[in-house]
Chain A
Amino acid sequence: MKPAAFEYHAPRTVEETLALLWNYGEDGKLLAGGQSLVPTMNFRLTQPTALIDLNGIDELFFLREEDDELRCGAMTRQRAVERSDLVKRIVPLLHETMPHIAHTQIRNRGTIGGSLAHADPTAELPALAIALDASMYVRSFTDARWIAARDYYVGLFTTSMEPEEMLLEVAIPGLPAGSGWAFEEVARQKGNYAMCGAAAVVDLAEGGSIGHVSLVFLGVGEAPVEAERAATLLVGEKPTAAAIRAASDAAAKLDIDPVGDIHAGPAFRRHLAGVLAERVLTKACARAAGYEG
């Protein structure tokens, strides 16, 4: 229950950090908020040669609006996002989801970039990143690139970043007026890892039919799962209770293939996905139509 020894580095700049990562490769581990990494180190499931602490890199802590997008530095604390009026105004889905992430003590340390890069399949932020069509700005000592959230998550705790790359920033397009959104999850206990969660973003076209819909689940796969068949069923339809029900059933039956664990078997997770899909789609459509704030 105590971590193994490691070399500790506390760089002050991104450049310094990228040089360290270049040298250590897979033997170097970045320490962001530490709310997932440090437990695994305490259990000695993770024993990095070097721990590179990002908490002293001021340039990674920011929240700003740029080109109708929310730009969030990787080290921005989850609590800061939860409390940000800017976030509430331009990406209200993110604002509404934050309290579902663990507990206040965890969000006081936990960071946006840490959670996104950790790629826990039951975490809220990766699913949200896909639902909101976010992009990740990633750098190594030699290169820089943007990765769409859809291409960022490739498997269990696995992203498309290379060991020498680091996530610096996430860009989240603001939700346009007239779009609707919702997030819900079911956990055994408030703040625990959810057994299933769902995020929905809906845009209504002229005439009130559904123009665009993004429905993303957490907890039912090795990475966040986008319900593509459900979306196909809904686009062009009026957002009626029957259409939403049919799409939610399709999502639960066709779009996911959950495995069970000690907390919930596959059938129960599938059931939760259907129920949550119906709830978030209903709420998102109502919000898009202006029925609900």
Chain B
Amino acid sequence: MEQTISVSVNGRQYERSVEPRLLLSDFLRHEIGLSGTHVGCEHGVCGACTVLMDSAAVRSCLLFAVQANGRDVTTVEGLDGGHEELHPIQHGFWEKHGLQCGFCTPGILMTLVPFLEENPDPTEDEIREVLSGNICRCTGYQKIVEAVQLSARLIKEKPA
């Protein structure tokens, strides 16, 4: 039986009637058309579908859309805050070539948002640890680590 849910995504309120079995990842992509959230493995291993729910990085393929009822979700589309300029983390990835095919990138970016808020000066080990939950099959991670280091600097330099 379908249920009506109301979810805030990137600051905008969406009301939809959904089946309880609909995954949050599919809700974002198919119900409200935000296809920036990628679906890789659909069993919580690859991290491509990572979004923020109430500011915490979570796997959207392991949540049902009904569980997001009344919650705040942020996807990669919300990173620019509506200002149409790159978030410092996106800028870091662009500058340092932190991606090749880009499939894993949205999940990595969303993992990094809370991480860099809590760890403004991460060590390389800490960066590799937090990235362990996101699988990239192109880069070998070296460029991603450099991108995160640059992103941390850019966030600090960014005028408040």
Contacts and interface: CB of A to CB of B under 8 A. Distances in A.
Nearest to B128: A190
A127 B111 CA distance: 29
Contacts of A261: none
Contacts of B58: 105, 108-109
A232 interface: no
Given A79-B56, A108-B56, A191-B133, A38 B44 contact: yes
Contact of B19 (A5, A79, A99, A105): A5
Interface residues of B, number: 28
A103 B21 contact: no
Interface in B22-54: 23, 26, 42-44, 47, 50
Contacts of B21: 2-6
B44 A106 contact: yes
A109 B59 contact: yes
A104 to B, nearest CB: 6
B133 A102 contact: yes
Given A103-B133, A104-B111, A2 B44 contact: no
Contact of B132 (A7, A35, A51, A103): A103
25 contacts: A1-B42, A2-B23, A5-B21, A6-B21, A8-B3, A8-B66, A10-B66, A34-B62, A34-B63, A35-B59, A38-B44, A39-B62, A42-B23, A42-B42, A55-B67, A79-B56, A104-B57, A105-B58, A105-B59, A106-B133, A108-B56, A108-B58, A109-B58, A109-B63, A190-B132
A-B CB proximity, top 10 nearest = A103-B133, A8-B20, A39-B43, A190-B132, A38-B62, A108-B56, A3-B21, A1-B42, A105-B57, A191-B132
Interface of A: 1-8, 10, 34-35, 38-39, 42-43, 51, 53, 55, 79, 99, 102-106, 108-109, 189-191
